[in-house]
Structure 1
Amino acid sequence: MSAIKKFFQKKKMDFKFKKYGEGHKLDEPVQRPPPTQRSVSQPRTSSQSPISPRGDASMTEEKKRAAAAALARMEQKEKQSKQDENIMSMKARMRREMEAEKKASEKMLAQAQAMQGPVEIEKDHSPVIPHVLYTCPDIGPAVLPKDEIDAYIHEFLLSQLAEEPEMSSAVMIQTLNKDKEKVRICVETLIKYLDNITNNPGEEKYRKIRMSNKAFKERVSQLNGTDEFLQACGFQIKQLPFEDNEENFYVMSGETAEDVERLSGLKEVLRAAEPIQCQLDRALKVFHQSSGSSKFDIPEEFYSINPEELKKEQQRRQEAVEKLGMLRTKAMRERDEMKELRKYRFTLIRVRLPDGILIQGIFKANEKLSCLYDFIRSSLENDWMPFVLQTSNGSKLTEETKTMAELGLCPAVVLHFVWDESIMKDVHAAQGGGATSSILKPDIMAQIQSL
């Protein structure tokens, strides 16, 4: 039994050795199997490639395509990264430019304020100016507030209707209506009515204007002075049949329509009429030399906005800071500048003369600097002598075409009067070194008072 067992064990061992191939001697060189015949138990090295049933050539093309795709993805990521960096760089550059612009604007504002003298206007309790007044020299000597001067002009025009109805009513249309575009359309429409009549004097339809007509109501009847003008032309209001009803019409008689020469003259009156315009009263005042020249009492009329809106100034400044976080175009900046210029309607200007006397006047914020020079020159005894106006820091105001608002002279400022040095030398030489007691006209010096 033991011999049989040994026999089977020997057969089993022989079978195992045959599985590993033929035997080798110890001094025989080792032969490694080709890569394609790698043993299952051997680990794959990094230099060995997986076996592909499609062959090595197709695998190489696939690897090339995969590598190209990977390279393209990497290049896309790098390109996107560069674009993001460029955008961030551009935003940072724009922010720096806006901050530089803000600093430059603040510097210019500080310079303008320095030109004005005090940074903040110190208001006095004395009633220097209770309100802004207007005058209209063409119709009378009255000096009144704006609403009262408008009523004064209206009353004057009504009083002239009896003597000159055509011209007075045409001037009413131009003066009593503030929308100049509507006035233009109204005048053109009235001239068209008169043209139709003069070109067709025998046609009755052209001598009637239905008062409820939409075009007539929108273009003519809603404006002041049109009823007076139509009646001055010879139209009369009558009720006439219209679509199974009766309506009011302006009707001109056939006899009046035949006077073509008169109707042509009415058209010329309409074209030639100009509005009566009131003027801002300068409220000329002369004060003795005073240390309180920089104290002002500014009426609310000086501002384009009411006092409640002025309280929102802090909010406006906050919004200005927030604007740094957004890109602003040149047009947006110009609109902001125009808003700032329209902040004030008037300005109170005092000019200190060489002898210390102060002369004061009121000007519109959009008036040019030349108006201030004319105002000063008209008050001088020797109005031919050249002079210049300076700010408190010595800057000369010579750009006479710029407005008071553009020069930073609103809402109040104290300026200095300086004679032309070369002219003054000649004057002193002619007077033997002496000087006149005052450079203002005697009638103006008679109004001097204490500030």
Structure 2
Amino acid sequence: MKKFFEDIKKDIKFKSAGPGKKLTEDGSSKPQMVQSSGPAKPRHVTPTEGAQKAGAAALARIDGQPRPLVQTSQDAIRLKVKKELQAEAAALAVSEKEIKTADEGSNGKSPEFLSVKGVYFTCPLTGAILTKSEREVHIKEAIFMRFEEDAVEASIMMIHTFNKDKEKVKAAVHIISKYIENICENPTEEKYRKIKLSNKVFQEKVKPVEGSREFLEAVGFQSIMLDVDGQEETEEFLVLLEHDPEALELMKERRDRLQRGEPVRAQLDRQPQAFRPSPNAMHFELPPEFYNLMAEDLKREQQQKSEVVDKNAMLRTKAMREREQQRERRKYNYALLRVRLPDGNILQGTFLAWEKVSAVFEFVRDSLVDGWQPFELVAPGGHKLREDQELMLNECSLVPAVLLTLSWDAAVQADIVAAGGTGPALLKPELLENILTLN
């Protein structure tokens, strides 16, 4: 069989060499072109779509591979997004690993000596505890899973979560809302029930926003190829077929949900932890996630710390000091706060650097058995924090880490004692069950 195919190849090669010539002829002369009287044949004919599919199927059979499944638009989008998310997660994980390695190398501390293992977040859709590199991928996958339960809600989440440009989201939501309003105000007008996908407004304002088409399909629009006046080929339209009053009222409600939509964001997990009384309460070793710095910046920070600089001896204006304080505040993304209780035990939690002081009071109150009782939090230096303060933690010099002291309101405690009561219970049992000792 092999010899048979080799003979065929030789025969084809021989015929393609052109007409023969005598040995005495000048080999440099060009062969004469013979002009055919018939129509010229094209050199290459593009195979039709059907021929391409048949060829692909034949190749698949030859290779022993199954034919590829036809993907819907949503399947294609999900597959593309999944690949992009995996690439993003991998890149972010590598970046975080580099920062962590640089930080550990610079301070010589291994993870077990850190005051907190890291920064963690809670997915509002699944309740899962996630690292910084996991949160975005997990939330997007959770939104995709919601399509099986409520496609309208899932598509609204897509629009407000997957797209970073809020102005583009606002413009797309406005146009989609206008589509629905036109249908509801003119239920018998067929032109309002069709969206031409090649339309300039749709192409520039709606299509680029992820989740917009999914929302339109979720509220009842269907993809249909329709004839267009003056064109031979059909074009794709999104068409709403139903027009009964109940369906229109439902569309209005879904439009309102779209307009009220908010991005799905992972919430910072406080990672509450109780510690026994310890002289090391003011000693903090933070992981690199707390810093808004890259690996090179962390190394530079370590070098600067090793240098003895007496800044108090420098003559600086108030404006210079304020600018320096602002630079210091921007260095940190998170704050690790500890609260020493009257019994000596210590409560620890993680906060965003730009959260309000009231968030700390709320965290402490939720961790106490008798959190209803008024108390005070005192910062180092004797500065008392107020629960009604609108200041952020980084504006109160509470970042990146600080030890606060809790004290009960003296007047309330006096009333309780006078009434024959006892001192308040402190930390909740679930925290005391996992109490640790500070290194």
What is the CA distance between 1:203 and its match in structure 2? 4.6
Normalization by structure 1: what TM-score? 0.61
- How far 1:245 moved relative to its partner? 7.3
Deviation at 1:189, TM superposition (A): 1.1
Q: Per-residue deviation at 1:441?
A: 1.9
Tell me how far apart the structure 2 counterparts of residues 353 and 270 of structure 1 sit (CA, whole Å). Answer: 46
Shift in alpha-carbon separation, 1:221–1:389, aligned structure 2, 3 A: same
Aligned to 1:363, which of 351, 355, 358? 351
The match for 1:233 is 219
Aligned in 2, Cα 1:392/1:431: closer, same or farther, shift over 3 Å? farther
Residues 368 and 403 of structure 1 are in contact (CA less than 8 Å); yes or no, is this contact kept in structure 2? Answer: yes
1:446 maps to a residue whose letter is: E
Contact 2:123 2:130 in 1 (8 A): no
Q: Highest Rg: 1 or 2?
A: 1
Q: Which range moves more in the overlay, 242-251 or 175-184?
A: 242-251
Q: CA separation in 2, counterparts of 1:426 and 1:123?
A: 49
On the 8 A contact 2:413/2:423 being kept in 1, the answer is: no
Partner of 2:119: 132
Percent identity reads 40
The residue type equivalent to 1:185 in the other structure is: A
Cα–Cα, structure 1 residues 240 and 297, in superposed 2: closer, same or farther, change >3 Å?
farther
Kindly indicate whether the alpha-carbon contact (under 8 Å) linking 1:133 and 1:280 is maintained by their aligned counterparts in 2.
yes
- CA deviation string 1:227-274 (max 9, x = no partner): 210111222334456785757634214445985334333322323434
Superposed CA deviations along residues 298-326 of structure 1, whole A, max 9, x for unmatched, are 222222232323456699xxxxx9xx9xx
TM-score by length of 2: 0.62
| AA in 1 matched with 2:269 | D
Paired with 1:375 and 1:204, the residues of 2 have a C-alpha distance of 56
Match of 1:306 among 277, 294, 304: 294
Cα pair 2:126 2:142 within 8 Å, conserved? no
Q: Which residue of 2 aligns with 1:83?
A: none
Equivalent residue for 1:423, pick from 395, 406, 412: 412
Question: Quick one: which of 373, 380, 383 aligns to 2:368?
Answer: 380
Letter in 1 for 2:179: Y
For residues 192 and 265 of structure 1, the distance between their equivalents in structure 2, rounded to whole angstroms, comes to 14
Task: Pick one of 409, 414, 434 that aligns with 2:398.
Answer: 409
* Counterpart code for 1:176: F
- 1:199-240 Cα offsets, whole Å, 9 max, x none, are 444555433334344432342222222121011122233445
The answer for the alignment partner of 1:176 in structure 2 is 162
Instruction: Name structure 2 gaps, 5 residues minimum.
Output: 1-106, 305-310
* 1:23 aligned partner: none
1:419 CA drift (Å): 2.0
In structure 2, the residue matched to 1:294 is 282
Q: Do residues 192 (structure 1) and 178 (structure 2) align?
A: yes
Quick check: 2:114–2:287 contact (8 Å CA) kept in 1? no
Alpha carbon RMSD of aligned pairs, Å? 3.7
Aligned to 1:40: none
SS state at 2:405 partner: strand
Aligned to 1:345: 333
Residues 334 and 271 of structure 1: CA distance in aligned 2, closer, same or farther (over 3 Å): farther
CA distance in 1, matches of 2:327, 2:252: 46
Instruction: Identify if the C-alpha distance between structure 1 residues 232 and 410 changes in structure 2 by more than 3 Å, giving closer, same or farther.
Output: same
Partner Cα separation in structure 2 for residue 353 and residue 178 of structure 1: 43
Whole-Å Cα distance in 2 between the matches of residues 391 and 334 of structure 1? 21
CA distance in 2, matches of 1:359, 1:307: 30
1:440 is aligned to: 427
Q: CA deviation at 1:152?
A: 3.3
Deviations 1:12-69 (A, max 9, x none): xxxxxxxxxxxxxxxxxxxxxxxxxxxxxxxxxxxxxxxxxxxxxxxxxxxxxxxxxx
5 Å-filtered alignment, 1:39-438, equals 126-137=113-124, 139-240=125-226, 249-256=236-243, 259-311=247-299, 340-398=328-386, 400-429=389-418, 435=423
Change beyond 3 A, Cα 1:256–1:276: same
Asked if the contact 1:345/1:365 (under 8 Å) is kept, the reply is: yes
Cα distance between partner residues in 2 of 1:329 and 1:218: 50
